[in-house]
Structure 1
Amino acid sequence: MASEQRQKAKAYWKENVKYLSILLIIWFTVSYGAGILFKDVLNEIRLGGFKLGFWFAQQGSIYVFVILIFVYVRLMNKLDKKYGYDKDENVFKNK
């Protein structure tokens, strides 16, 4: 039983780290890529009177980060249900 719980917890954290990695790569790509690497190309497009590269560097990456927080919460709620950690019991106590 303890071995089964350990495997379940290991699989849970493996998926959690996968989600975190993907979301952080997206955030890095948007903040570094759009704000620095591709700024010259994006600056040819205007958004609300501002160059798009400037907008991503100043505000866009923050908006994307906040959206990714909500995506992470949703993914973690689904993951908790998948592994049975959504119940009201203390799942971290040792047995």
Structure 2
Amino acid sequence: MNTLKKKSKFKHALYLILALAMLVYALPLISFQPGAGWISLFGAVWAGFAFLVIGAHLHFILGVNEDKQRALDAIRLEKYKEWQEKWLKEGKRGQSL
């Protein structure tokens, strides 16, 4: 599980670097001058989404909600076990018919 977490953090770090690179490349090209109209609006919205992506990856890398993630993983595991038991019971019931 630990290596899986490291792979996941590496993936998020890579995506964070890519998003930062795109933002650094695009911000000087976006025109925020008066009269640009839709171009300025599109540039601002695009930059806003880029900042959201960067923030989401930083949030994951820094592990702000590790306790919450552990709780969600425990719930997911319990649901998986319930699903597996239900599936096995249905499989046995189908064999006896």
- Could you say which TM-score interval applies, normalised by the shorter chain? 0.3 to 0.5
Structure number with larger C-alpha Rg: 2
Using CA pairs under 8 Å that are at least 6 residues apart, name the structure with larger relative contact order, 1 or 2: 2
- Give the structure with the higher percent helix: 2
Q: TM-score, normalised by structure 2?
A: 0.40
With structure 1 as the length reference, what TM-score do the two structures score?
Answer: 0.41
